[in-house]
Amino acid sequence: MKTISSLLLCLSIGAIGIAQSAKKVENNQLTLNVLLPGIIYEHGLSQNSTIAAEATMGFAYVESSFTDDGFGIYPIGRLQYRHYYNFERRLAKGKNIAGNTGNYIAPTVAVQGGKAIIGSLDYVSDYFGGIGAVYGLQRTGQKGLQFRFEVGPGYFFDEFESNFGIFLALKLGWVISRKQ
């Protein structure tokens, strides 16, 4: 019985080691956003998939003849399961995939606070939430500069109402750590 248990343990460790070496995504990657301050941690799960957790800031400005003008900066949290689908094609063309450079699809969940941490524009609702799917394009340069664009349909809700809309994100940042 001990021999079988030891054999299964060795095979499991070997299989995990082989699976880890076959990954095309980065095992861990930490990126700082510069346009709207934020941080993204991306963890490799499988050969072409990651989970990405993001804490960032959102900006809103309202100019109206009916109410006071105002702006606000709000905290936003996002979670995504990213599946990069074009790594093989990029490698076949001799292109870079380092830093998770590729195109992906991702189910997305986001939550935003309704009270401004900076500014005077507070919403009636204490929070906003969204769930949807995005198509994303991420490019990471040799020196760590990263560009990301995402767009896709979403279902948005707060304490009082819900509706359908579009997830849209444009990020420029710097990869501060990555480990393949």
pLDDT of residue 61: 82
The answer as to whether 150 is a domain residue is: yes
The answer as to whether 13 is a domain residue is: no
Burial class (CB in 10 A: 0-12, 13-18, 19+), 57: middle
Check which CATH number belongs to the domain holding 148 and give it. Answer: 2.40.160
* Beta bridge mates, 168: 151
Name the CA radius of gyration of the chain, rounded.
Answer: 20
* Beta bridge mates, 71: 61
Structural domain for 36, as ranges: 24-179
Nearest Cα residue to 70 out of 59, 79, 78: 59
pLDDT in tens, 109-155: 999 998 889 988 888 888 999 999 999 999 999 899 999 999 999 99
The answer as to whether 31 is a domain residue is: yes
pTM of the model: 0.79
- In this structure, how many other beta carbons lie within 10 angstroms of the beta carbon of residue 121? 20
Q: Which pLDDT tens digits describe the chain residue by residue (180 residues)?
A: 444 444 334 444 444 444 444 678 999 999 999 988 899 999 999 999 999 999 999 888 888 777 777 888 899 999 999 999 999 999 999 998 999 999 999 999 999 998 889 988 888 888 999 999 999 999 999 899 999 999 999 999 999 999 999 999 999 999 998 665
The answer as to whether 125 is a domain residue is: yes
The answer as to whether 3 is a domain residue is: no
The answer as to whether 163 is a domain residue is: yes
Chain center to CA of 97: 17
Q: Which of the 8 DSSP states describes residue 125?
A: S
The answer as to whether 1 is a domain residue is: no
How many domains is the chain partitioned into structurally?
Answer: 1
Alpha helices, DSSP H, located in 44-164 = 87-92
The answer as to whether 117 is a domain residue is: yes
**Contact residues for 87 (Cβ-Cβ < 8 A; gap 6+):** 24, 48, 97, 102
Q: How far apart are CA 23 and CA 17, in angstroms?
A: 10
